[in-house]
């Protein structure tokens, strides 16, 4: 089959994907500037800095966040995968469906990583960063807490969709399904690529005081994908991470639990170490229960008549 993006040099593939990302980000920003005020009567700054007890403003915040996730992450990844080859779902690692044991191991792995992330977050909070950066993160956290106000079960369901499910699908398609794979193809260094993609994943979130925690979780999500070859496992683990906070916030707001999940709880070093060991063990077990895609191309030796197929992606 000719004409598919996979036949292009990896550098061109990378440039194409980053171009999609930048292009659709600019489309989102332009649309926000041109359409938001005529449709809502408010600019984005007025919405973010306005009366955050106004249900209408909260609704507008959720809508803008939804379109940001879909336009900036989901659409570029989906278009790139469609152009890459005839079977985009297979390229992304969405086929076949994961097994039950794989799901359990992936979810337990990300849960263990939460404690490790909490420990490095405590250290991250001690970083000497400009006050402006601290103020920006405080404002972002305030907006998140506003969007997570859930007076009813309906609000819980809406937030699970908008905060947990949709962002998890879009971000995993973007960061693990495409970006991480392109890095692996470019560098031929699998774990270096997982580290680099997790750093980019964290940087894009723009939370400097939670940079290390997000990077740790991004690394584990990337490792789940590499070790299993199934993106659904990374998506489900991401949903668990995001959804757990939404549910905990709902339970706290309705007096079912006493600990405020929006407040950081210090994690002891020995707890983090134990969870790190357990998480590594769970990821190793996931590898044993999986047949991961090999994401690097074979090296053709001088004099070879044919390219050795060992190590080629199963979907190439």
Within a domain: residue 295? no
pLDDT of amino acid 139: 82
Grouped pLDDT means (10 residues each) for the chain, 316 residues: 76 95 97 90 81 81 94 96 87 91 98 96 90 85 88 95 96 97 94 96 92 97 96 98 95 93 89 97 96 62 39 42
Decide if 296 is inside a domain: no
CB distance 246 to 163 below 8 Å: yes
Rounded CA-CA distance 234/102 in Å is: 11
Whether 53 is covered by a domain: the verdict is: yes
Please count the CA atoms within 13 angstroms of the CA of 16 that sit on its side-chain side: 19
Residue 312 lies in a domain: no
3-state secondary structure of 291: coil
- What CA–CA distance (Å, rounded) separates 316 from 313? 5
Q: Domain of 104?
A: 5-288
299 in a structural domain? no
Asked whether residue 303 is assigned to any structural domain, the reply reads no
- State the pLDDT at residue 28: 96
- Number of domains, the chain: 1
Please report the pLDDT score of residue 132 as a whole number: 87
Does the residue 308 lie in any domain? no
**Residue 29: Cβ within 10 Å count:** 14
Domain-embedded: residue 314: no
pTM value?
A: 0.90
CB 42 within 8 A of CB 60: yes
DSSP secondary structure, 196-256, as one string: HHHHHHHHHHT-GGGHHHHHHHHHHHHHHHHHH--HHHHHHHHHHHHHHHHHHHHHHHTTS
Nearest-angstrom CA–CA distance, 93 and 99? 14
């Amino acid at each position: 089959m000719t004409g598919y993006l996979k036949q292009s040099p990896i550098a061109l593939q990378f440039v194409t994907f980053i171009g999609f990302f930048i292009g659709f980000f600019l489309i989102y920003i332009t649309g926000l500037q041109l359409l938001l005020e005529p449709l809502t009567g408010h600019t984005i700054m007025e919405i973010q800095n306005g009366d955050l007890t106004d249900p209408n403003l909260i609704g507008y915040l959720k809508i803008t966040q939804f379109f940001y996730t879909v336009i900036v992450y989901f659409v570029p990844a989906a278009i790139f995968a469609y152009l890459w080859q005839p079977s985009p779902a297979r390229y992304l690692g969405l086929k076949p469906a994961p097994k039950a044991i794989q799901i359990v191991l992936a979810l337990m792995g990300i849960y263990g990583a939460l404690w490790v992330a909490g420990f490095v977050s405590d250290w991250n909070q001690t970083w000497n960063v400009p006050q402006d950066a601290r103020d920006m993160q405080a404002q972002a956290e305030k907006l998140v807490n506003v969007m997570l106000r859930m007076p009813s079960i309906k609000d819980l369901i809406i937030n699970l969709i908008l905060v947990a499910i949709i962002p998890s699908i879009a971000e995993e398609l973007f960061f693990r399904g495409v970006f991480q794979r392109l890095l692996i193809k470019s560098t031929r260094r699998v774990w270096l690529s997982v580290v680099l993609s997790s750093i980019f994943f964290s940087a894009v979130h723009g939370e400097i005081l939670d940079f290390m925690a997000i990077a740790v979780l991004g690394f584990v999500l990337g490792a789940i994908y590499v070790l299993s070859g199934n993106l659904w496992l990374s998506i489900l683990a991401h949903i668990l991470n995001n959804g757990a906070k939404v549910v905990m916030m709902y339970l706290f707001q309705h007096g079912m639990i006493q600990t405020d999940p929006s407040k950081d709880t210090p994690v002891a070093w020995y707890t983090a170490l134990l969870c790190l060991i357990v998480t590594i063990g769970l990821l190793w077990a996931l590898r044993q229960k999986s047949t991961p895609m090999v994401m690097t191309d074979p090296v053709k030796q001088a004099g070879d008549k044919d390219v050795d197929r060992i190590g080629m992606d199963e979907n190439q």
